[in-house]
Amino acid sequence: MDRHPASSRLSRALSSLREILGPRDQVFQNLLLEQAHLAEQAMDLLFRYLQQPSQELAQAIGALEERGDSILSDIQRALREALVTPLGGSDINYLGNALDDLLDQFEDMVTEDLALEAAGVGESSYADRRFGEVLDALHGACSLLPEAMEALLRRPADAEATIAQLRARYQDGKRAYSMAYAAIMAGRDDEGSARTKNRLRWLRQHLRRIEKLANAMAGILANS
């Protein structure tokens, strides 16, 4: 005979609740992880695009952005239907929107860049080394996004170190951008074209988006 029937019933109820809610937790985790992987893939395509621009690469980035929109809609619908979420609902919504904004920016950058090309705005050797350093830092940061997101959602003990790596990458990019901008202001890069300078401006915006994401992830980890 069970000497603690109330305790046993509570234990069974909690176990059943975990069985019901567990898969729902996975829904949010899977959607956010897919978004992070999309950002990584889009950055890979952007890296290739900046080496050799093409309509095909621009369209591929656009397709990833459309998939990101669909995932964000799925996240928002799941939030409306969820009773319990693995993170705060506002945190999930913020991460989903921030990743979607990053994908939007990638698409906007190549769309604008192709428009400049069509208008006859050419390229030059403007700040090749500095531009490359900014691009490499951004590329490295985006490659860390899936790992950082997975750690935050599934392995919190590992998340702090991964987020720190993410922050280090965007800090490298910000320093490289500052050097490139200083060269522009000093007039030492007068060979640079408007198109290349515009690309540099976009890379800075991408770095800012990564910075906001990393700060949000660190805040969520600290409050969890």
Distance CA 107, CA 60 (A): 9
Task: Please report, for the chain, how many H helices and E strands are present, in that order.
Answer: 6, 0
73-82, 94-103, 188-197 — most confident range: 94-103
pLDDT at residue 205 above 60? Answer: yes
Q: Which of 33, 108, 87, 71 is nearest to 219 (CA)?
A: 87
- List, for residues 78-96, the tens digit of each pLDDT value: 888 765 566 678 899 999 9
Architecture in CATH of 17-223:
Up-down Bundle (1.20)
pLDDT at residue 203 above 90? Answer: yes
Query: 186 CB contacts (<8 Å, ≥6 apart)?
Result: none
Token duo for residue 128: 């090749």
Q: Please, which pLDDT band fits residue 16 given cuts at 50, 70 and 90?
A: very low
pLDDT at residue 35 above 80? Answer: yes
Helix axes 156-185, 128-154, angle to 10 degrees: 160
Q: Where are the domains of the chain?
A: 17-223
pTM of the model: 0.84
